[in-house]
Copies of this chain bind each other. A is one copy, B any other.
Amino acid sequence: MIVVLTGGTGGAKLIQGLTHEVDPAQLTIICNTADDFVLHGLHISPDLDTIMYHLAGLGDDAKGWGIRGDTYGALEQLERYGAESWFKLGDKDLATHIRRTELLRNGVSLSAVTHELCRALGIAARLLPMSDDRIETRVETGEGEISFQEYFVRRHWRPEVTGVTYAGVESCRAAPGVIEAIHAAALIVICPSNPVTSIGPILAVPGIRHALQKTAAQIIGVTPIIGPAAISGPAHKLMLAMGVEPSSLAVARGYADCLDGFVIDADDLSLKDAIESLGVNVIATSVRMNALSEKRRLAREVLALARQ
């Protein structure tokens, strides 16, 4: 059994590779939900949705989010009504939020909703939200505290960040099956997702980090950083805001208490020794994934590193 910890975009790529290299039914994916937010009265789970759409073969590879070929009739009309339109909701995508919101309002848990949506889409892998409770990444900026989606999508990660907190995380519980999956796993993959706003919240859920330290599974991480910057998105800016000089070494240090192996980019070969001195096996390869062949190759390298 393979457990995957992931956010949205970067993680979705590696997971796509993994589903081609192993039986998807062997995968349990633990997904960040601290970016979840409510818009138009609908509960949106951006990372769960991105992963779910990719697992269902519906993902939009070009955009990295949403459903391929989706239309935008509802958003256009919502805009006419004066509703906020900075978050680009496709029509089919909207159906996910409508269905989720209805089920949540009926008292169904987020993990049960996720299970139901994945079942309807014929997904063989097991997709778990990190928690059924509400945790919210709050980004402190010079212009005030905003949600991650406001920072990332609405403000195009332009405001200067002075801090990041996970509101509600202390009192939340890991979703059913999360801790058990970590203990039962043979391999755990930490995806090349934002260490501050994707992997960070997962590790902050009470019990998850401890389970990762105690599990017998091999734990392999993949860097989302090459040189001083993220492959995509604002991870490096957020690391700086947390007082950390962004690099693959810094990411590995953040996970070092759990990590057995780490995959860095060949451009960062000079960091190999420093990371290995943390007691971590390192391979340096290409961690950029565009074509499916690159996603599969990186997935194979992660699997090979775990077997070492």
Given A71-B71, A82-B120, A120-B82, A77 contacting B101 (CB threshold 8 A)? no
**A302 and B182 alpha carbons, distance in the complex (Å):** 75
A73 proximal to B (CB < 8 A): yes
Are A94 and B92 touching (Cβ within 8 A)?
Answer: no
Given A41-B102, A41-B105, A95 contacting B71 (CB threshold 8 A)? no
Given A41-B105, A91-B91, A105-B41, A98 contacting B74 (CB threshold 8 A)? yes
Given A70-B73, A73-B71, A78 contacting B105 (CB threshold 8 A)? no
5 further interface pairs, Cβ-Cβ under 8 Å (given A76-B95, A77-B95)? A74-B92, A76-B92, A77-B91, A77-B93, A80-B120
Are B120 and A81 touching (Cβ within 8 A)?
Answer: yes
In the assembled complex, the CB of A257 is this many whole angstroms from the nearest CB of chain B, namely 40
**A101 and B39 alpha carbons, distance in the complex (Å):** 12
**A80 and B90 alpha carbons, distance in the complex (Å):** 16
Q: What 1/0 mask marks residues of chain A from 52 to 88 whose CB sits below 8 Å from any chain B CB?
A: 0000000000000001001101111110111100000
Using CB atoms, name the residue of chain B closest to A101.
B41
In the assembled complex, the CB of A6 is this many whole angstroms from the nearest CB of chain B, namely 22
A109 proximal to B (CB < 8 A): no
Are A96 and B77 touching (Cβ within 8 A)?
Answer: yes
A99 proximal to B (CB < 8 A): yes
Are B121 and A80 touching (Cβ within 8 A)?
Answer: yes
In the assembled complex, the CB of A105 is this many whole angstroms from the nearest CB of chain B, namely 6
